[in-house]
Amino acid sequence: MNGLTTYENCGDLAIEGGGCIVAGTEAQTIEHVLVANRGEWREHPLLGGEIRKMQHGLAGRMWAARARQMCREAGVAVNRVTVSDNGKITVE
């Protein structure tokens, strides 16, 4: 999936040589889906991993499966989402 890319650190639009960069945006889409809260996107009100709510607690038992389904609904082919004991999220 190609689209406008943003810088990872700040989210600003990536510009190179006086123009916007159009490239693969799979990782960017996954990041936005996992960070978003439900209801943030008017077109897809049920999309959002609400990862900031898990910042000081554990992920629910079904969170990884729901996150995988949300990524698929956003157009990114995701095989597996896992959360390790130390809170690291891995998307394959």
**How many CB atoms sit inside 10 A of residue 84's CB?**
8
Beta-strand (E) ranges in the chain? 2-4, 15-16, 19-20, 22-24, 81-83, 89-91
Domain-by-domain residue ranges, the chain? Answer: 2-91
pLDDT score of 47? 92
In Å, how far are 4, 33, 78 from 19, measured between CA atoms? 10, 26, 30
Residue 84 confidence (pLDDT):
87
Mean pLDDT of the chain: 91
Three-class DSSP category at 89? strand
Residue 70 pLDDT: 94
Question: Bridge-partner residues for 4, per DSSP?
Answer: 22
Confidence at residue 56, expressed as pLDDT on a 0 to 100 scale: 77
Residues 30-72: tens digit of each pLDDT: 999 999 999 998 999 999 999 988 887 777 889 999 999 999 9
What pTM did the predictor assign?
Answer: 0.84
